């Protein structure tokens, strides 16, 4: 799996290159600023990109804007962005136009190598990977009628769905059976008024509607 990295910190950038190489990814290029990053993406057309939200010259949202440009020009390329802190606006902007192949994680998550690599593979495979802290902040800020219809357990299940977990992963996290999770997921679909459709598509719609993105 071919990857381009966008990260201004030389130490972190080189650390990510080594981590991904050891994890079976092929890092074909890396860049320290948004413009160079976009040039590398245009040249290599990777399967996945990994980049920081804040990049030179202003260290505000250059990385995010580069990700949005990339999503418009090359929607087939998976994107996972890293952030030092939970930044709701950035997460919302990134997710607003994407229903698959997208992730938003805090940089602290890189320390858990196995979990981080799993998130990369999930995003590259067409799924999502949202940091639990990002999900929590977005859910605290959102208040709508569909939320009131869900039980506490259904909210837990939907929050884990928002992180990109499968039914099996949710079952393991909540120490329940996969069958029980399936029932909760179907209840969520019904309470959010999502019609019968492809189950993966409904999962995405459920998460986006719950976060009001």
Do 206 and 126 sit in the same domain of this protein?
A: no
Main-chain phi, psi angles of 50, to 5 degrees? -130, 120
Boundary (domain end) residue, out of 111, 131, 151: 131
The confidence score (pLDDT) of residue 93 equals 75
The confidence score (pLDDT) of residue 150 equals 84
Do 32 and 77 sit in the same domain of this protein?
A: yes
Do 168 and 85 sit in the same domain of this protein?
A: no
Kindly tell me if the per-residue pLDDT of 77 is higher than 70.
yes
Do 173 and 70 sit in the same domain of this protein?
A: no
Query: Whole-angstrom Cα distance, residue 103 to residue 10?
Result: 22
For the sheet containing 102-106, what is the strand order?
Answer: 26-31, 2-6, 48-52, 78-83, 102-106, 128-130
How is residue 97 annotated by DSSP?
T
Do 154 and 184 sit in the same domain of this protein?
A: yes
- What pLDDT digit, counting tens, does each position of 1-30 carry? 999 999 999 999 999 999 999 999 999 999
The confidence score (pLDDT) of residue 41 equals 97
Domains contained in the chain, number: 2
Do 162 and 67 sit in the same domain of this protein?
A: no
Helix, strand, coil content of the chain in percent (nearest 5): 60, 15, 30
- What pLDDT digit, counting tens, does each position of 187-198 carry? 888 888 776 665
How is residue 195 annotated by DSSP?
P
pTM for the full predicted model: 0.66
- What pLDDT digit, counting tens, does each position of 26-66 carry? 999 999 999 999 999 999 999 999 999 888 888 878 888 89
The confidence score (pLDDT) of residue 88 equals 67
| Helices 167-174 & 152-162 angle (0-180, nearest 10) | 130
Is residue 32 assigned to a domain? yes
Do 51 and 126 sit in the same domain of this protein?
A: yes
- What pLDDT digit, counting tens, does each position of 135-191 carry? 766 655 554 556 677 888 998 999 898 888 899 999 999 999 999 999 999 888 888
Q: Return the CATH number at 29.
A: 3.40.50.2300
Is residue 146 assigned to a domain? yes
Q: Return the CATH number at 199.
A: 1.10.10.10
Is residue 91 assigned to a domain? yes
Do 63 and 168 sit in the same domain of this protein?
A: no
Is residue 87 assigned to a domain? yes
Work out the average pLDDT over 115-137.
Answer: 86
Give the domain extent around 171: 142-211
Is residue 47 assigned to a domain? yes
pLDDT-based confidence at 213, cuts 50/70/90? very low
- What pLDDT digit, counting tens, does each position of 80-117 carry? 999 887 766 677 777 776 668 998 898 888 889 999 99
Query: At a CB cut-off of 8 Å and minimum separation 6, what does 193 contact?
Result: 146
Do 146 and 77 sit in the same domain of this protein?
A: no
Is residue 137 assigned to a domain? no
Work out the average pLDDT over 111-133.
Answer: 90
- Going by C-alpha positions, the residue among 151, 160, 134, 142 that lies closest to residue 188 is 151
Do 122 and 194 sit in the same domain of this protein?
A: no
Is residue 205 assigned to a domain? yes
Boundary (domain end) residue, out of 98, 131, 164: 131
The confidence score (pLDDT) of residue 56 equals 87
Q: Are 145 and 186 in contact (CB under 8 A)?
A: no
Boundary (domain end) residue, out of 131, 163, 188: 131
């Amino acid at each position: 799996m071919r990857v381009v990295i966008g990260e201004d910190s030389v130490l972190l950038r080189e650390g990510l290159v080594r981590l991904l190489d050891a994890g079976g990814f092929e890092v074909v290029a890396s860049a320290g600023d948004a413009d160079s990053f976009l040039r590398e993406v245009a040249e290599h057309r990777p399967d996945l990109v990994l980049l920081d939200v804040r990049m030179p010259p202003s260290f505000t949202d250059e990385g995010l804007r580069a990700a949005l440009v990339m999503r418009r020009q090359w929607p087939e390329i998976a994107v996972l962005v890293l952030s030092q802190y939970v930044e709701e606006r950035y997460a919302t902007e990134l997710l607003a136009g994407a229903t698959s192949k997208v992730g938003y994680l805090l940089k602290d998550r890189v320390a858990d190598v196995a979990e981080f690599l799993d998130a990369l593979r999930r995003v590259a495979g067409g799924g999502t990977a949202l940091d639990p802290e990002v999900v929590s902040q977005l859910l605290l800020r959102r208040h709508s009628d569909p939320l009131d219809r869900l039980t506490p357990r259904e909210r837990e299940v939907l929050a884990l769905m928002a992180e990109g977990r499968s039914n099996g992963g949710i079952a393991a996290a909540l120490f329940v059976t996969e069958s029980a999770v399936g029932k909760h997921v179907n209840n969520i679909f019904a309470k959010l008024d999502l019609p019968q459709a492809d189950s993966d598509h409904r999962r995405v719609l459920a998460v986006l509607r719950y976060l009001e993105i």
